[in-house]
Amino acid sequence: MTEQISNKSVSRTPTQNINHNEQNATPAKSRSVKGLGARNKTSRRSEASGAEHQDHQNSTENAENGISEEETSTRKKPLAPKEPAIVYTDVNGVEVTKKLVHAVQDKLSKEEKHSLRELEEYMVTEGGAWALGAAHLDLIGKILLDKKWPVEVKILTLCLIQAAAFKDDVILLLYQDRKDHYIMRYVTSIEYLSFEEQENVAKLVGFF
């Protein structure tokens, strides 16, 4: 009889066993979270202490070397460039275009002369770039890439493109150069160009 009573008092249903296990697990979980928080706080204190120690060590080394805090803060600031930036003035597109026309018109074919006149009209008037296309790029590419043209003519052509860069719609013309890449081929050969050409290529890139 005593054994039966004892077995009844010890036996539990499955639901009671789960609740009992959860109650026993909760304090352990709480202790684990508290322990993790304590470790994080200790880690942060250790990092802060290390940074303070490093700052103190740097200050001590500077003092031993005779470097004041003001000099140290000055050294940390980025130094201004010794040479001022180069700023190119605007190119006189009308004058450059007239000089180019005068220099090359006698050496062009009938079609090329027509393209040159349209380029001149674009540069000296408010006409839009919609009237310019492949023929005009062919002319520019011929002057830039053909070695028969003197350096002076190539520089005038570069100056014309520089002046055109100030027009909002010049991109319509340059976008059509994606086929033959006249301008890009000339620019990428910069190491083989004369100093004057290299300077004007740099200006051209700066304008864009």
> Is the Cβ–Cβ distance between 153 and 143 less than 8 Å?
yes
Please give the residue that has the higher pLDDT: either 208 or 135. Answer: 135
**Pick from 135, 145, 132: nearest CA to 173:** 132
**Pick from 188, 107, 190, 92: nearest CA to 142:** 107
Average pLDDT over residues 123-138: 89
> What per-residue confidence (pLDDT) applies to 26?
47
pLDDT tens for each residue of 145-192? 999 999 999 999 999 999 998 888 988 888 899 989 999 999 999 999
**How far is Cα 203 from Cα 59, in angstroms, rounded to an integer?**
47
**How far is Cα 120 from Cα 114, in angstroms, rounded to an integer?**
10
> What per-residue confidence (pLDDT) applies to 47?
58
pLDDT tens for each residue of 45-54? 655 555 565 6
Domain ranges for the chain, please list them.
Answer: 2-76, 93-207
